[in-house]
Structures are given as structure tokens and as C-alpha cells.
Amino acid sequence: MKLFRKILFWTHLLCGVIGGVIILVMSVTGVLLTYEKQMIVWADTRNIHIAPPVGAARLPIETLLAKARESQVGTPISITARAGSDAPMAMGFSGGRTLYLNPYTGEALGGGAQGVRNFFHVVTDWHRWLGREGAGRATGRAITGACNLMFLFIVVSGLYLWFPRNWSWSQFKNILWFRRGLPSKARDFNWHNVIGFWSCVPLFLIVLSGVVISYQWAGNLVYRVAGENPPAPPARPANSQSNPNEQPSLENLSQAWTRAEQFSAGWQTLSLRLPNNAEAPLAFTIDHGMGGEPHKRATLTLERKSGEVVKWEGFSRFTAGRKLRSILRFAHTGEVLGFAGQTIAGIVSLGAAVLVWTGLALSWRRWRACRAPRIRQTTEAVNGWRSAKRPVTSPQRTHR
């Protein structure tokens, strides 16, 4: 048992040293991304104030799309509406650009806080790909994926190593709560154990879901655990390059939009990605939550000409494997539990950064302590060699 614990400890330490810096980057960027969606919406709309005219109705979707085209931003490819009579209509364009419109007048209200969006874009790039661009993203993704795997082992092995060898309340008390007045080494050890214990379960779920996101084999394993065959990857169309000058078809769009608004009461966000094909059905995403709660989101597909429902796909109709996969996707950000889950994920990510820092500090002290005797022995040997080589001089005589 002692040998197993020793092997586990040194493997735990080695994984922490190898992947520590990358794990620290992912933890810090994870903290910064905690409330990304809420902060973007707030930054985009904080200066937008819409006073709905008394008795006025929103303009038809076709009219709003025509107004968006007049802005010369480009051709809109998506529409998003939020609940509330004073909420603006968001038009999405290629390249991630957004234009907000007054839904009653069609007035362009600006493209939102582009600086905030750019900030979160950079943070996301570092979180996923270590800031790499283009072909370098594959390398960055491979590194973060490998470090996620090491972090998963660190979390699991850390829980085992946390338990003291002698089970007594005095031993547990020293590693359950923060203690004051400790020297630096003891303080780091105390913080490492306390934060590791209290964040173990949510941190395990966050890191495990990160592994599932990073590796297709891990995602397929989720379906197999649920007793299902993994779904085939979606087929990529032969011509994936869309014509930027091609205009989305607007035929029967207002009728379908009204049907989608009335189909499911209480929605918070209603969005549609515009198809270019006039014969293609319209797939609306209806969200009753904050955007990251899969059990509160559904897809409504309507036949364009008749407005008949082609498919209603909510969370309750998913297979067990797809449910589990969807939950793990948003467990990584904590959004599966709403605002409270995001807060927990942010706190745990901050705790992970402290765990990495204290772990590296303890490893550095251990390395220096191991080297100290060798350095001392080497210094003594060199000094002894120098003393042996030094010529012996006879004492000088004093002349009277």
C-alpha cells in the first residue's frame, strides 16, 4: 500500500509539473469566461433603450431584414429575438458581426460592444488553442487535450492522496480548513489540500467534460456508456463555401416566425438561421433558459410554405446518450445549472489556478530540498580538493 501511494504521489507530482503551466492558463481563462454570455448581452444593450409605442406591433421580419441590408454591414444570416417588449432584434452576419435593430421602427442601433466581444474571442482562443490561429490550432488543441487528461488524473489521484494515513480528527482538521499564521511551505500545503478537497467534485465534472469535448473517442464513450452506438459525424457538404452575394430566401418568413413565437409560451430567446434554399424548411431554436441549459432548449422545424410542424425536438425526446452528452457539454461551463452553476464553475476554476500555483511551489521546494545535500557535498568536495592542492608555505622568519 505504501508503494502504491508513493507511485501515485510521484505520478501526481510529475503530471502537475509537466502540465502545470497549461492547466494554469486554462484555469485563468476559464475564470474570465465565467459570465461571458451575460456580459456580452449587457455590453451590447446597455446603451440601447427602446420605448415601445402604445398599441404598436413589431415590423414583419422581411422588413427588418431589408433594414439590416440597408446598413451595408452585409447579408444577414441569422435572426435572434429576446423576450420583452423593449428588447432589440439582433441580426447576425458572417464573421460573427451583429447589428441591433429597433423592432418597431427598423432603426439600426449599432453593432454592440465589439471590444468586449473581441476580448472574449481572444480569451476563448487561449482557453481552447493557446492563442494559436489557423493550422496551429490543431497543435494547440492537442496540447490542451493532453493537459486535460493529466488534470483529470491529478484530480482523481489528489482525492486519494488527500486522505491522511492516520485517520483522526486532528489530522483531518488540519487539511479541511484554512489556517492562519503558517510559514510559506505549510501555508501552500494547507491551501492545496483545503481547496482540492472542497472543489473536488465540481472540478472533476468540469475536467471530465473538457476531456469529452477535446476527444471524439471520449464523446463516443459517453454514448457507449449509455448503451448506444455513437452517431455518425455529420456529412460535410461538397461545396461548403457559400456565396456572400447570395440572398437568403424570405418567402413565408413572417408567417413561420409568428407561428414559432406562439408555439411555445414563456421562451426567453427565439432564433433562426436563414437558409439560402427557398425550399428548405425553417429550423427555429426556442430557448426557455439562459442559453446553456440543454433541458430548456428545443428545435422547432416548420415547413416553409404551409407552416406545418415538421419536427419538434426537445430535450425530453433525446436518447439517454444524447442527453448525457448535452449535459456534459454545458457542465464544462456550469451553465447546465444556470447562473448558480456558472458561479460555481468560476469559483472552482479560480481554485484550480491556486491548486496549480501551490502545487508548483511545493514541487519547487521539494526539488531544492533534494538538491541541497548534493550541492553541500559537492561544495565540500571541491573545497577539500582545493585545500589538498594548495602549496604548503613555511612560516616566515622574523629578522631582528
What's the predicted TM-score (pTM) here?
0.85
Q: What is the DSSP string of 24-51?
A: HHHHHHHHHTTTHHHHHHHHHHTT----
**Three-state DSSP state, 317:** helix
- In this structure, is residue 101 part of a structural domain? no
- In this structure, is residue 254 part of a structural domain? no
pLDDT < 70 positions in the chain? 72, 234-249, 372-400
C-alpha cell at 39: 456580459
Q: Residue 375: its pLDDT value, please?
A: 57
Q: What is the DSSP string of 143-193?
A: HHHHHHHHHHHHHHHHHHHHS-SS--HHHHHHHHS--SS--HHHHHHHHHH
DSSP-assigned beta bridge partners for residue 282: 302
Residue 146, classified by CB atoms within 10 Å of its CB into exposed (0-12), middle (13-18) or buried (19+), is: middle
Question: For residue 103, which of 289, 254, 281, 275 has the smallest C-alpha distance?
Answer: 254
- In this structure, is residue 69 part of a structural domain? no
Question: For residue 122, which of 113, 111, 133, 112 has the smallest C-alpha distance?
Answer: 133
CA 184/CA 369 separation, integer angstroms = 15
> What range defines the domain where residue 1 resides?
1-46+114-228+321-385
Type and span of the H or E element at 269: strand 269-273
- In this structure, is residue 160 part of a structural domain? yes
Q: Give the chain's count of helices (H) and strands (E).
A: 12, 7
Q: Residue 99: its pLDDT value, please?
A: 93
- In this structure, is residue 309 part of a structural domain? no
Show Cβ contacts of residue 237 under 8 Å, excluding neighbours closer than 6 positions.
none
Q: Residue 347: its pLDDT value, please?
A: 97
Would strands 269-273 and 98-101 be described as parallel, antiparallel, or unpaired? Answer: unpaired
C-alpha cell at 136: 496551429
- In this structure, is residue 55 part of a structural domain? no
pLDDT in tens, 1-55: 789 999 999 999 999 999 999 999 999 999 999 999 999 999 999 999 898 888 7
- In this structure, is residue 56 part of a structural domain? no
CA of residue 61 relative to chain centroid, distance: 33
> How many domains are there within the chain?
1
- In this structure, is residue 196 part of a structural domain? yes
